[in-house]
Structures are given as structure tokens and as C-alpha cells.
Amino acid sequence: MFTLRCTQKLLKRLKTAPSPSPPAPTTVLGDWYANHVIVGRQHLVVCCSERTYLPVIVPARELASLPSRLTDALGTMLVALDVPEGALREELAAMSEVAIGKTASRVVVGVLTEYARMLGGGLRGGGGLTRESLWLAETPLFASTSRTVWPIEATRQAFSQPRGLYLVQ
């Protein structure tokens, strides 16, 4: 179970009311934040894990299927990150139940904004959206004045630790 926490712009496009009190996530990566962005002439949804800031980009078409397309794209990302198959299956199975909610963390919304800014120059071509997501995941983020987080490493670490221990809180 997780909540797809959408920006106001994306909620309007989804044409669905957010859950007033979404349940706590049962996934390693926690809730996911999502924002609609336009890069060149492509409409995309940039998604970001609340716990590790891992980005996943999916096309903005057929928004009703966004949760399942996010799950599919995340599976591809986790394979690329060499997440153990058992952990990968557990994470994707836990994502079979989803609630739609409003954003709740200004920090994660700021990360989404930074990802959108980085994509603003256009997609780099070749390799598709998974390649773009991996490129963003290698970007260091400054979580505080004393801590830098690399989403790709934070995600690998989250899957190598017992549940409940994460690099980003």
C-alpha cells in the first residue's frame, strides 16, 4: 500500500478527489510524489519516492492508469539498480494497492521541482525515460547543509537494510 501524492496541477488532470486521510505506506520506498511536466512537446509525469528521492518518469497519457504505469516503470528501474529479485517482487506487490492524496512534504515537492528544472532543457535522447530517470537518480541532492543524498545510492541502501531503516527520512 502506498499513496500517490499529486501536485494540485496533476490532481486537476486526474479528475479525482484525493483521499482525506491516506494510510501509511507499506513499501520500502514509501509514498510517491508526482507532478505533471512538459518537456519540449512531451507531457510527462515525474514521480519521486518520499524516502529515497528516486525519480521515475512516465508519459502523461492515460492518467487513470498512472499508478500501474509507475509500478511497471519502477520495476524496470529497480532491475537497473540491481535490487535483489525477491525484494523487487515484494515492493511491486506492495504497490498493488494505492490511494491518491495531496502532497504533504514541501521538501519532496522541492525535489520534484528540481527534477523538472533539470529536464527543462529537453530529454537527452536515446534510452527512453528509464535512462532519463537513471540520469536524475545520479544527481546529488542537498537534503540539509550537512548532508548530501544520491537517490540511486539511497535506494540501493534502502533495499539492503532491514525494513524501517532508511537513508532519507
pLDDT of residue 155: 96
CA distance 30 to 55: 13
Answer whether residue 49 is part of any domain.
Answer: yes
Between strands 2-6 and 32-39, the pairing is parallel
The radius of gyration of the chain's CA atoms, rounded to the nearest angstrom, is 15
Q: Which of 163, 10, 159 is nearest to 83 (CA)?
A: 159
The answer to whether residue 30 is domain-embedded is yes
Whether pTM exceeds 0.85: yes
| Span 57-81, pLDDT tens digits | 999 999 999 999 999 999 999 999 9
**144 domain residue, yes or no:** yes
* Cα–Cα dist 150/123, whole Å: 21
H/E element, 155: helix 151-160
Instruction: List per-block mean pLDDT (blocks of 10 residues) for the chain, which spans 169 residues.
Output: 97 93 96 95 96 97 95 96 94 97 95 93 77 93 78 94 45
Residue 165 located in a structural domain:
no
pLDDT at residue number 144 = 62
* Cα(154)–Cα(54) distance, integer angstroms: 8
What pLDDT is stored for residue 126 in this prediction? 67
| pLDDT at residue 143, as a whole number | 67
The residue segments making up the domain with residue 127 are 2-159
Report the number of distinct structural domains present in the chain.
Answer: 1
Alpha carbon distances (Å) from 119 to 3, 110, 116, 166, 169: 25, 14, 5, 27, 25
Residue 108 placed within a domain: yes
pLDDT value at position 167? 44
- Structural domain includes residue 134: yes
